[in-house]
Structure 1
């Protein structure tokens, strides 16, 4: 069986207990944060916004390692991603082309690539081990989207682009062209899926899977605070491990 690059887990009571506790913390974070909402006031990025400890526990709820196909490891504070009705709207910090890509292609991206320098050239600066999404409330709006099998397309393209360079320098090499070409190839070859999930479930992505967020559609629904998902992405020690590890 071909690895699709994603997996839905649950529902599981341990995941639900963590999500319920995290939701209460998330609502407090939204009420007290001075972080500006992006995309015309429709997206709260919320990096490191949740107060979980390194073992993943939050507000007395243990992290549900036993329900996940993952080995326990130290975790960063989780991102809190919140989407409100109308996502995405134009904003001054996005070019018209970038906004159109967000609206029409879900802002499809590979985590760990950062825009470096005045020309915003893409380099691998955050080589994550995996990407775990934990929904904190029930919503039908703006689900996570993935392109099945895209991780192998991206792996092959980036390995080819980096092969001429020593592995210890891979994080400093401009891979913009190879990345953009591989992303275009994934749009053609891979099936796009919307991965809606609710509290008690988790969505685990291969670290190289192309993914994004669907636009809020007419008829979509979410609680008053918007669609809330917690994300965890612990880092690997090297870009070489990021590309070569299964």
Structure 2
């Protein structure tokens, strides 16, 4: 599986009992303390009610354990730790999509909505759009993306999407853009143009792969892989809770190193 991650940019792990137990507890915590919380709904329910973004809302510890719940474990998480080190986990994202996704996000232009609908809002995490001109800068240096489904849903219920092999193209382009700049200064480099050019190359050359998954399964996505969320297909069904996934994106801790570009 780790070899597949390095080659294709993604790996899908079969269901395991330990992961199922963690997902069951995380789902209950999300439904009891996050999704129904008025402040969270005000902050995170977007796209006209079809996406609960839920960044940093899961109350786990640095090892992924929730209060009174089992520790986060499983082949995917252990493989990530073996490859990238025992990086501390942030509060997990609880991402929930509902039938009708995507509707326009608050303040989103028509062009941005078309990109969300037609290109799955494909992006590389950590490259943030800033300022009125939406220029892209590297503000978060994730090591990997770990996705843990929390609900059952049809294959067409807004699955995660990855462009296979796209991390090779992004790595080459971003290495060129950041060459000559010390790693601790990478956030100052405007990556917009080279990032957009790399995305166009990815769309031309790479295969789009949908990765539907159920509780107990896990996905690992390479930090430089172009990925997004597919629209909710007509007729697709899910539990009343919607399609729920918890995501972890731990960051490399030493910004003086070039790990974000050079690690496996």
TM-score (norm 2): 0.89
Report the CA distance between 1:104 and its aligned residue.
0.4
Report the CA distance between 1:33 and its aligned residue.
4.0
Contact persistence 1:15–1:67 (CA under 8 A): no
Structure 1 gap ranges (5+): none
TM-align CA RMSD: 1.5
1:80-229 alignment to 2 at 5 Å?
Answer: 80-140=94-154, 141-229=157-245
SS at match of 2:180: coil
Report the CA distance between 1:90 and its aligned residue.
2.0
Contact persistence 1:14–1:200 (CA under 8 A): yes
Report the CA distance between 1:66 and its aligned residue.
5.4
- Alignment partners' CA distance in 2, 1:67 and 1:123: 29
Of residues 127-136 and 156-165 in structure 1, the stretch that sits farther from structure 2 once superposed is 156-165
1:46 and 2:54 aligned: yes
Structure 2 gap ranges (5+): none
Report the CA distance between 1:165 and its aligned residue.
2.5
Equivalent residue pairs, number:
246
- Alignment partners' CA distance in 2, 1:49 and 1:174: 30
Contact persistence 1:150–1:190 (CA under 8 A): yes
Of residues 228-237 and 25-34 in structure 1, the stretch that sits farther from structure 2 once superposed is 25-34
TM-score (norm 1): 0.95
